[in-house]
Structure 1
Amino acid sequence: MKKSYRVKKEAEFQKVFNSGNSCANRKFVVYWLPKPQQAHFRVGLSVGKKIGNAVTRNQVKRYIRQGLLELKTEIKPEMDFIIIARKGCESLDFHELKKNLQHVLKLAKLI
């Protein structure tokens, strides 16, 4: 995923957390904030140490990014959102993780 599709700065993360809405399922929490006049969505990922060691956390992040890449055409473009992985998502394979990701994005009405 290109850098222009990512929320990177701490201030941007905090703005989404403080001003945005949230929704969750068993594996993910999503915070989102509408950003009018934005060309495409931007996403920030948070995978904490409760998930596992660095190798496991990076694998979960890769799976999430790939799932978002495959859902890119369905996601509303004028949004910034943060995805937080919950404990238990490290045991999922890619297809289960993508299904859970799609579910939480539908709950948040981002798809």
Structure 2
Amino acid sequence: MLPAAQRLRRSADFGRTVKKGARAGRSTMVVHLLSQESDESAMVGFVVSKAVGNAVTRNRVKRRLRHASRSVVESLPNGTTVVVRALPGAVDCSYQELSKDLSACVARARRTRGRTPR
């Protein structure tokens, strides 16, 4: 479980990260990453829509993503916000695959955050 200080909760924070942040995706998820100057710790939020599955399935995907994000958040600089949007492909993946995809997406978004979107 992520500590409360590392959870993204406000709708405005989600919106700002999705609109202004760098995006990277895989078949299981899309990651939006926004780095800002701040003393707050890095924060992560999750979006798992009904397209992923029923409530039991969505909660299982969220639990796996939350657990996988613990190690990723610790490596991010302060002031970074990350929004992870799960795709229907995440249902059939193991925890190891989700963890690998999350790490790859965050690394890719960190590399592209300075570039302007096309």
Q: Same fold (TM over 0.5)?
A: yes
The alpha-carbon deviation at position 30 of structure 1 amounts to 1.0
CA distance in 2, matches of 1:32, 1:72: 11
Structure 1 alignment gaps of length 5 or more: none
Aligned counterpart, 2:23:
22
Cα pair 1:26 1:86 within 8 Å, conserved: yes
Q: Is the 8 A contact 2:43 2:73 kept in 1?
A: no
**Residue deviations 1:7-37 (CA, integer Å, cap 9, x gap):** 1111111111222221112211111211212
TM-score by length of 2: 0.84
SS at match of 1:38: coil
Is 2:8–2:43's contact at 8 Å kept on the other side of the alignment? yes
Q: Deviations over 1:54-84 (max 9, x none)?
A: 1111111110111111334323333011000
Contact persistence 2:52–2:91 (CA under 8 A): yes
2:69 alignment partner in structure 1: 68
Q: What TM-score comes out, normalization by structure 1 length?
A: 0.88
Native 8 Å contact 2:31 2:105 kept in 1: yes
Identity among equivalent pairs (%): 26
State the partner residue of 2:34. Answer: 33
Write the letter of the residue equivalent to 2:70: L
Name the amino acid aligned to 1:14: G
Say yes or no: does 1:55 pair with 2:56: yes
Distance 1:71 1:33, change over 3 A: closer
For the aligned residue pairs, the C-alpha RMSD in angstroms reads 1.6
Instruction: Please say if residues 38 and 79 of structure 1, whose CA atoms lie closer than 8 Å, have aligned partners that are also in contact.
Output: no
Of the structure 1 ranges 59-68 and 17-26, higher mean CA displacement relative to structure 2 is found in 17-26
State the aligned residue count: 110
List alignment gaps of at least 5 residues for structure 2.
Answer: 112-118
Q: Which has the higher helix share?
A: 2
Structure 1 distance, partners of 2:96, 2:76, is 18
Alpha-carbon distance in 1 for matches of 2:96, 2:60? 13
